Structure 1
Amino acid sequence: MTEHPWLSYYPEEIKESLDYPNIPVFELLKRAAKEAPKKEALYFLGKRLTYEETLKAAYQAANAFKKLGVEKGDRVSLMLPNCPQMVICYYGVLLAGGIAVMTNPLYVERELEHQLNDAEVKTIVCLDLVYPKVKKVIETTQLENIIATSIKDYLPFPKNLLYPIVQKRKGPYVKIDYYKENVLSFPKWLKASSSTPVTPEIDPKTDLAVIQYTGGTTGTPKGSMLTHANLIANALQCKSWFYKGEEGKEKTLAAVPLFHVYGMTVCLNLTVSLIGTILLVPKFDVEQLLKVIDKEKPTIFPGAPTMYIGLLSDPKLKNYDIRSVEACVSGSAPLPLEVQQQFESITGGRLVEGYGLTEVSSVSHANPIWGQRVHGSIGIPFPDTISKIVNPETGEEVGVGEVGELLISGPQVMQGYWRKPEETEQVLKDGWLFTGDMGYMDENGYFYIVDRMKDMIIAGGFNIFPREVEEVLYEHPSVKEAAVIGVSDEYRGETVKAFIVKKEGKEVTDEELDAFCRTKLAAYKVPKLYEYRDEMPKTMIGKILKRELK
């Protein structure tokens, strides 16, 4: 207990070690369809699919992939937003024995080309709206099959008829070359395929389920190799944390993209393990989100601080009932205390901060949802997960409260980076994942992230962590969003610059922010430069893109 002090803060309902069945990821769907065939699995803009229907479609997709030549271990790219096709093809690829390569629809050609070549992808399922980008990289990749689908393919009547008209108003209509041999229409491709059950031979501990690419904030993106066992473990760890969840009764608001590792684990795999309903939201739109919450009553809402901030600052919030939400785990950025308190007072649910990485299948730490929470902390390690803080220079463990690099060991840790042995050796050593995040542990075993090692600002010889400065700026009543970076400075080497998005109807000056920061930060940490923006550049999950600000 002294070695792992966090265990004494586990609620009694959570075991420190779990039993993980040695099964492939698709067994979660098969089990749900067997136990509750008529249970609603997916809800999408009015369309509803049961578990029985979802599994049947997944079998059809698996057989259709096999017909295209997809064999065990082949990589298939899924370049889709949150829609039924994403869920069907995810399980379809796995049931065919393939490896899903989750691809961001917002990628530009260069990023797409890199990923498809790196993973040697021959088959891609993409949204019709991004087909022009896919078409441009056919010549420079190994692509042989393109399966194009539209949002309207799973819209209920009459929305499916109105969708093309609405899209034409928004911009030029995307024409798909379906007459070409290698370009297939998703509905026809699926319909022409058998729904005969298929089960490939899978060794969950060694066979990959997903290659999930990291954001590529340093150099080119790398593919994290996640096995079936990795994903099963993380889904069940999340399930143990959400111990009040009842099988067959939960509804998850999937606003986080499923192509992101967080969405895949917490919205998809966790919900299916609970035999719950996934409320698919194709893009983060505050009004649409409020309507879905009000109408469909989700109980689980994984997200990022920007999502909760967006809902709370929307003037129409008072017109909707969002009290169904019981549990939210927030990741990707610090969760401001004001946001947590306001969200909980409106919903009556719990919003806690957690932590994860692509390399750990999604989540490794979280504050207990119904236990002791510590503001500013990422919480405590999940069952069977061990963490420690080491000196980045010597590799030796540091004392309580001392800042160093966060290391993680557990069943959810990836196998390495796809075909990058040198990069793998840099981050996986003696069973430990070196995260590249700087943090510390308190005497109770709660962990805190100070910042990314690479984001640290060195000004006049002083080490400054942007996250600490951002936390202070978020406390100012006029600040809606804040991001801090280091910019070159002839005298100090680097100096601190803050980007600010003001709350609606609020005003603030550089002088006011300077005075506010000086009451809470050492003088050398106070921003020297301020830039005010209407919005921040963000990833689809809502993480502020500092490299774009730089």
Structure 2
Amino acid sequence: MSGMQLWRTSLGLLFDRRARIGKPMFFRMSRPMDIDPSGQSIVDLPALAEIVRNTAGALHAAGVRAGDRVAVYKENHFDCLLIAAAVVRVGAIPVMLSGLLPPDTARPLLQRVEPSLLIGTRRLLEEQDSNGELVSAFAERTLCLDGDVPGALRLTDLLGGPVPEFVPRGDDELMMLTHTSGTTGVPKLIMYTPEKLQGQMARLECRKLPPLTFTRDDVAAMFLPYVHARAFTWIYSVLTLSPATTLLVSENDPEVVGPLLRQHRPTVIEALPIDFQRMVPLADENGGDAFAAVRMFIGNFDAMRWSVIRVFLNASKHRFPVWREGYGQSETGGMGMTMITRYRANKRRDENPGPRKVGRPMPGFVELKVVDPTTFRPVPTGQPGVVLAKTKARCVGYYKEPERWREKAVGDWWNTGDIGLMTRTGALMLLDREVNHTPGGSCLEHEDVIVERLPRGHDVALLPVPDGPPVPVVAAPGGELDRERWRAAVRGVPELAEPVVIDFEDMPRTGTGKILRQELRRRHLEGAGSPGHGRWT
């Protein structure tokens, strides 16, 4: 099997297959894995394959069998992905839940899934929800990875047994469940099959497209929620394209990641907006030497502020560093991509950012169109409307919520819930989420302008209301906003209400760093309605 066909391999056998073919690879972690008693922080492919096999043996000893649903609810780490591989190996279905979900959010997801086994760490397994219940109450059995929890199995007691035979699943059978970000309420559980996750999403990412993809000489640093579908398509691309060293980072604390980045000098970094934001001090420190060798920064999941993009591109000493911004959704995979150069980022100092350009659809993989939100008929070029996408990578449904799926599936097209417009050159520009959009404006664009003008360490969310100007919620250091700076920042911006000022750390966000705008409305607008109906969020 050639490297370019590795995407055909089941996740359950992926590390075994890759360990037998191709070139050696090394993975360095910011901390040891919770499922590896040896406590290694540097592993190669044979070691990863052995960890997956051993974990599969432990799951089998815990009673997991083909067709069972196994929930994973633990602190973020690369080993979440290895646990999922072990679950798939025994023919079961991993249900990946972020350890950042509070128990009150994890509870309805577990109730919906009814897992045969819940895998977690002691901190999360012993935390009670608002009803005083433990999440373990919603699973038949519980497995604790790092200690003793009453009534739970212990991983260390189950390791060392025989490795079960691989149990294959059909290309169209349910392979895995992951959840959406939950910006407007309880997250949805997305259903993936091997055909969708591997055959479409991962296959696209495994193509060699230098310099946009990994090369053998790269040192790739990854900051990811490892329970997200993005992590699974990413691991296929890494194992196919074989960068020499991969840095697996499970936190964004500059004190933790700084030494790792300075020692190994990554050439490619992918991270969430919240991760880049936390690492800004590292980009300033010692001339930004932690990022001196970076040729490409990759941003996903949400729009990044121009001021942050500029900091990192300027910290790179590479001759021509770029910022690769992806546009996609969990339900569809990647739908578009745009590249930002250092020149373009610095030019933004002297001009107001316009609507977010997210690039053109990928030829042969994705089609995009903009339609009227009422009639769903295409609108003229340059006119705003709802963005629809057609892609073979679209997932197969929301688990036990077909009505929520039907709200967004329009025949072969997918309603992204985004408001955007198409340019004459075929590029897509985003204005807002439908639930947060008012005709004639763009909250995202105005937020970019304001944040660009405020001192570093500020963020802004504009909340439109039906009967007045948008209400800005300003997250400022210490909850203190310089009013003179504020007035200068909003000069030329359409009328805004008086700002609501909160501490920067009090801005509510999802586990991937997206601002919870509906939560801001609940806290600060006393039930004021949204301009959009929000059916497509």
Following superposition, the deviation at residue 389 of structure 1 comes to 1.0
Change (3 A) 1:248 1:90: farther
Q: What corresponds to 1:145 in structure 2?
A: 141
Q: Determine if the alignment matches structure 1 residue 483 to structure 2 residue 460.
A: yes
Which residue of the partner structure matches residue 442 of structure 1? 423
**Aligned-partner residue type, residue 229 of structure 1:** E
Deviation by residue 1:429-450 (Cα, 9 ceiling, x = unmatched): 2211111111112112221211
Kept in 2: contact 1:451–1:467 (CA 8 A): yes
SS in 2 for 1:307: helix
Instruction: Quote the residue 2:486 is aligned against.
Output: 513
Distance change (3 Å), C-alpha of 1:240 and 1:134: farther
Structure 1 equivalent of residue 112 of structure 2 = 118
CA distance in 1 between partners of 2:343 and 2:385 (Å):
24
What amino acid is aligned across from residue 259 of structure 1 in structure 2? Answer: V
- How far apart are 1:71 and its partner, in Å? 3.0
Q: CA deviation at 1:372?
A: 12
Q: Find out whether 1:333 has 2:314 as its counterpart.
A: no
Q: Distance in 2 between matches of 1:431 and 1:100?
A: 27
Q: Please tell me whether residue 305 in structure 1 is matched to residue 273 in structure 2.
A: yes
Contact 2:13 2:89 survives alignment (8 Å)? no
Q: Which moved more, 1:436-445 or 1:341-350?
A: 341-350
Tell me the equivalent position of 1:406: 387
Q: Residues 201-230 of structure 1: CA distance to partner in whole angstroms, max 9, x if unpaired?
A: 2222x1222211112333432111111222
- More off after superposition, 432-441 vs 494-503: 494-503
Aligned-partner SS, 1:295: helix
Is contact 1:39-1:50 (8 Å) kept?
yes
For residue 196 of structure 2, give the secondary structure of its aligned residue in structure 1. helix
| Letter of the 1:385 counterpart | V
The farther-off stretch of 99-108 and 533-542 is 533-542
Q: Identify the range of structure 1 (20-29 vs 468-477) with the bigger mean alpha-carbon deviation.
A: 20-29
| Cα distance in 1 for residues equivalent to 2:481 and 2:99 | 37
Q: Matched residues in 1 for 2:325 and 2:121: separation?
A: 33
Q: Work out which of the residue numbers 112, 122, 126 in structure 2 matches 1:128.
A: 122
* Alpha-carbon distance between aligned partners in 2 of 1:72 and 1:97, rounded to the nearest angstrom: 4
Q: Under a length normalisation based on structure 1, what TM-score does the superposition of the two structures give?
A: 0.80
Q: Write the distance in 2 (CA, Å) between the matches of 1:145 and 1:42.
A: 33
User: Where does residue 169 of structure 2 map in the other structure?
Assistant: 202
Q: How far apart are residue 354 of structure 1 and its match?
A: 1.6
Shift of 1:260: 2.9
1:497 maps to which residue? Answer: 471
Shift of 1:393: 0.5
Contact 2:419–2:433 (CA<8 Å) still a contact in 1? Answer: yes
- Structure 2 unaligned regions, length at least 5: 32-39, 346-352, 522-537
Question: Which amino acid in 1 is paired with 2:292?
Answer: R
Aligned: 1:34 with 2:20:
yes
Shift in Å, 1:69: 3.3
Which residue number corresponds to residue 534 of structure 1?
Answer: 504
> CA contact under 8 A between 1:222 and 1:417: conserved in structure 2?
yes
How far apart in 1 are the matches of 2:367 and 2:11? 24
Distance 1:513 1:444, change over 3 A: same
* Offset at residue 301 of structure 1 (A): 1.6
Question: Aligned to 1:367, what secondary structure does the other structure show?
Answer: strand
1:445-486 superposed Cα distances (whole Å, 9 cap, x missing partner): 2212111111225xxxx6544212211112204253323243
Q: Verify the 8 A CA contact 1:79 1:127 in the aligned structure 2.
A: yes
Other-structure match for 1:187: 156
Aligned to 2:257: 289
**In structure 2, C-alpha distance between the alignment counterparts of 1:88 and 1:533, rounded to whole Å:** 37
Residue type of the alignment partner of 1:432: W
Is 2:203 the counterpart of 1:230? Answer: no
Partner of 1:356: 328
Structure 1 range deviating more: 62-71 or 122-131: 62-71
Q: After the TM superposition, which of the residue ranges 257-266 and 286-295 deviates more from structure 2? A: 257-266
* Alignment deviations for residues 491-518 of structure 1 (CA, whole Å, 9 cap, x no partner): x6243222234479x9964454344423
Find the aligned partners of 1:316 and 1:117 in 2 and give their Cα distance. Answer: 47
Q: Does 1:107 align with 2:104?
A: no
The 1:326/1:236 distance shift into structure 2, 3 A limit, reads: farther
The CA deviation at 1:116 is 1.0
Residue 420 of structure 1 aligns with which residue?
A: 401
> How many Å apart are 1:358 and its aligned residue?
1.7
Contact between 1:260 and 1:541, CA under 8 Å: does it hold in 2? no
TM-score by length of 2: 0.81
What's the C-alpha RMSD, in Å, of the aligned pairs?
A: 3.2
CA distance in 2, matches of 1:372, 1:413: 35
The amino acid that maps onto 2:142 is I
Distance in 2 between the 1:36 and 1:105 partners? 34
Post-superposition CA distance 1:306-360 (Å, at most 9, x none): 3223322455354743223232221233223333233112123321222221212
